[in-house]
Amino acid sequence: MRNNLETYRIWAPDDALWTQWAKPVLFARQPSITNHGLSLPDIEWLDYADSRTMIIVDLPGSKGVYEALALARLGYRPVPLYNGVGAQYSKTIVNVNDIITALFVGADELTKHTLRTDAPPVFMLDSNRMAGGGKQPGAYDNRWCVFPQDMPSAAYLIKAGINRVIVRSETIQNDLAHILCRYQKESLSIYHSLGKETKLISGVKPSNFMSLAYRFKVIFGLTRNATGGFGGWVPDPTQTTYRGYHRYG
């Protein structure tokens, strides 16, 4: 089996246009299960790779990886944006183990496709990223959010020839709405796909839109990991042992 860096390089090759947005967080450790089979879905809502269309896949767990790999068959470049760290032997608020397995197993599938370095991107998110309520004392809090800084700007997309964005998700989450509203402001068309067809949507401005303090406020409620991304122990008031709880900086 490939090591972590080799696997990451398959998902984020140095020469690909969109690699600068890829997050290495879930490639930090190898999965415990590696003989996992891949069953990729049929893409019914898109016929071919359109160089003017960017896709955001925001589906729960490994479904997002499978959908992105199915889109890679059409010629799209999958870009993992997962930013929540996994903890192998502990209870985590967001379960990322199946995503890690899918990324490592899916690397083989990805090598089968010859993707252009400037192939249109499909950004991969986990719709469960903020699931689980809030901080639970004693648990490993690896909830995370996607911010406008984590994805290409509207200006960059327009320069790259992209004028349409399709969001493949069940709902549009608030953090993603901050990004989509910025795109809409710059006249990019936003479409939403539930899996069968796509429809044009008009964005609703989220609260704190374009606010300088928005990111700080959100991150203040999450737990950073020292190696990048989000993930850390929430201190249990009944325990006195300090386990590296860093909220912001």
Partner 1 sequence: MDNLEVLVFMASIYCACRLIYLWYKRIIFTWLSEKDNGIKLTLALLPAAAFAIILYTLKVLASFDVVNDPYYILFYIFLGLSWVFVNLLLVFIFFDLSWIDDVLGNRNTAALIAITGAFLGLTIIYSGANVGDGPGWWCVIYAAGLGLFAWILVNLVLNWGSRAFERITVNRDIHCGIRVGAFLLASGLILGRASAGDWTSFSMTVIEFLVGWPVLPLTLVAILVERYYISKEKDWERARQNHWFGSIYWAVLYLLIAVFSIVLYPLPENPIYGIISLPFTGV
Where on the chain is the footprint of partner 1 (CB under 8 A)?
14, 20-21, 23-24, 28, 83, 147-150, 153, 155-156, 158-159, 182, 210, 212-216, 219, 224, 226-229, 246, 248-249
Which residue, 9 or 113, is less far from partner 1 as judged by CB? 9
Which residue, 9 or 73, is less far from partner 1 as judged by CB? 9
Which residue, 45 or 147, is less far from partner 1 as judged by CB? 147
3-class SS string, the chain = CCCHHHHHHHHCCCCCCCHHHCCCHHHCCCCCCCCCCCCCCCCCCCCCCCCCEEEEEEECCCHHHHHHHHHHHHCCEEEECCCECCCCCCCECCCCHHHHHHHHHHHHHHHCCCCCCCCCEEEEEECCCCCCCCCCCCCEECCCCCCHHHCCCHHHHHHCCCCEEEEEECCCCHHHHHHHHHHHHCCCEEEEECCCCEEECCCCCCCCCCCCCHHHHHHHCCCECCCCCECEECCCCCCCCCCCCECCC
Closest distance of CB 54 from partner 1, Å: 15
Which residue, 40 or 219, is less far from partner 1 as judged by CB? 219
Instruction: Kindly list the strands in the beta sheet with 198-200, ordered across the sheet, starting from the edge strand earlier in the chain.
Output: 77-80, 121-126, 53-59, 164-169, 189-193, 198-200
Closest distance of CB 215 from partner 1, Å: 6
Which residue, 60 or 152, is less far from partner 1 as judged by CB? 152
Which residue, 170 or 216, is less far from partner 1 as judged by CB? 216
Closest distance of CB 41 from partner 1, Å: 30
Closest distance of CB 194 from partner 1, Å: 28
Closest distance of CB 214 from partner 1, Å: 8
Closest distance of CB 48 from partner 1, Å: 26
